């Protein structure tokens, strides 16, 4: 009995050492990947711009001046001005805040829902698994962008009414702010469209992990199903989820810009790269930079997050070790 206890403690200690070495090895592999470092650098710049945007922008991004509409780049306005005389560089920088905020909220909520439902489906099986997967298939039957657009267009007016009543009741005027409502509806719609993919991924990971010996040992000592799921299965399935979350950041930014481009996403006075492209389309032949600049910024950011996700996949994938 004592020998078994010592063996179990030794195995757990070796497992922890191996886990730490795997994460250190993953970090070394990530640092050696130049494209992943490029993606990480762009992500850091985006975060800094989004957080400190108001202190970094040369002008107020909402201030209009009809005497300088659609100006080309100059020393006063490095990227020119938009059709209503707003500084374009300032709006590009504040658009980073919109893109990052929507990406963070969408990724967090969609993956939280997916991890919980997918984890329960895989671990409990039976009718729980069938119900969750059939529900996920119903959502996945619709193209993600079209589903998000439908939810967004359908829920914006009711949400505005609810928050307007809440603002009158509580006296909190910021609750009825159009930017807050736009953000809430957009990340809610995108989360509804994205959670099934996270659920399917985590389900597949847990189905392969639940037969491991440490799960059997946890069951033998009386650990509850939720405890096994929270302490053992989900943490060990986080590697692929980290990759998906990183790549999902770029996808969420692209989806938000697409909704704003269609006129059902984040609208002025908030800055959105997609809305900026839409506003400049009518005069793009005369002022092509108003379309090219936000389009290029969006493309670079999405590409950077995809490269970072690929780098994390290579770093965390055990099959790629030793290459």
Express each pLDDT in 23-64 by its tens digit: 677 778 878 888 989 999 999 999 999 999 888 899 999 888
What's the burial of 180, exposed, middle or buried (CB within 10 Å: 0-12/13-18/19+)?
middle
Q: Is the model's pLDDT at 205 over the cut of 70?
A: yes
Q: Which two tokens stand for residue 20?
A: 């730490």
% of the chain at pLDDT higher than 90: 33
CB atoms inside a 10 Å sphere around CB 162: 14
pLDDT at 186: 92
Residue 77 to residue 91: CA distance in whole angstroms: 12
Beta bridge partners of 38: none
pLDDT at 21: 58
Q: Is the model's pLDDT at 15 over the cut of 60?
A: no
pLDDT at 22: 58
Q: Which two tokens stand for residue 215?
A: 């799960």
Q: Rg for the chain (alpha carbons), in Å?
A: 24
pLDDT at 280: 87
Express each pLDDT in 83-112 by its tens digit: 888 999 999 999 999 999 999 999 999 988
Helix/strand/coil for 77: coil
Residue 161 to residue 138: CA distance in whole angstroms: 29
Q: Give pTM, 2 decimals.
A: 0.81
- Domains in the chain, please, with CATH? 92-320 (1.10.3720.10)
Q: Which two tokens stand for residue 170?
A: 């509580």
Q: Is the model's pLDDT at 290 over the cut of 80?
A: yes
CB atoms inside a 10 Å sphere around CB 321: 13
pLDDT at 124: 81
Q: Is the model's pLDDT at 143 over the cut of 60?
A: yes
| Cis before 269 (ω within 30) | yes
- The whole-angstrom distance between residue 297's C-alpha and the CA centroid of its chain comes to 17
């Amino acid at each position: 009995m004592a020998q078994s206890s010592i063996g179990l403690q030794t195995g757990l200690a070796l497992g922890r050492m191996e886990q730490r070495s795997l994460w250190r090895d993953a970090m070394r592999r990530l640092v050696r990947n130049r494209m992943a470092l490029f993606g990480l650098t762009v992500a850091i710049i985006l975060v800094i711009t989004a957080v400190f945007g108001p202190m970094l922008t040369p002008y107020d991004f909402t201030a209009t001046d009809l005497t300088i509409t659609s100006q080309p780049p100059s020393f006063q306005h490095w990227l020119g001005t938009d059709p209503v005389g707003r500084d374009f560089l300032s709006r590009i920088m504040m658009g980073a805040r919109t893109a990052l905020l929507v990406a963070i909220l969408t990724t967090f909520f969609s993956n939280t829902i997916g991890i919980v439902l997918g984890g329960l489906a895989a671990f409990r099986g039976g009718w729980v698994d069938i119900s969750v997967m059939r529900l996920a298939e119903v959502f996945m039957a619709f193209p993600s962008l079209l589903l998000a657009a439908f939810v967004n267009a359908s829920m914006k007016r009711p949400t505005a009414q609810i928050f307007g009543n809440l603002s009158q009741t509580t006296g909190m005027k910021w609750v009825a702010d159009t930017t807050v409502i736009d953000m809430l509806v957009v990340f809610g719609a995108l989360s509804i469209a994205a959670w099934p993919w996270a659920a399917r991924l985590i389900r597949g990971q847990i189905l392969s992990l639940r037969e491991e010996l440490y799960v059997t040992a946890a069951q033998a000592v009386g650990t509850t199903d939720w405890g096994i799921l929270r302490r053992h299965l989900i943490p060990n399935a986080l590697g692929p989820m980290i990759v998906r979350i990183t790549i999902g950041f770029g996808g969420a930014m692209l989806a938000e810009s697409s909704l704003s481009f269609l006129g059902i996403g984040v609208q002025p006075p908030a800055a959105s790269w997609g809305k900026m492209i839409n506003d400049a389309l009518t005069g793009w032949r005369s002022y092509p930079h108003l379309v090219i600049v936000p389009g290029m910024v969006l493309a670079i950011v999405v590409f950077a997050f995809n490269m970072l996700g690929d780098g994390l996949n290579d770093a965390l994938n055990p099959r790629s070790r030793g290459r």
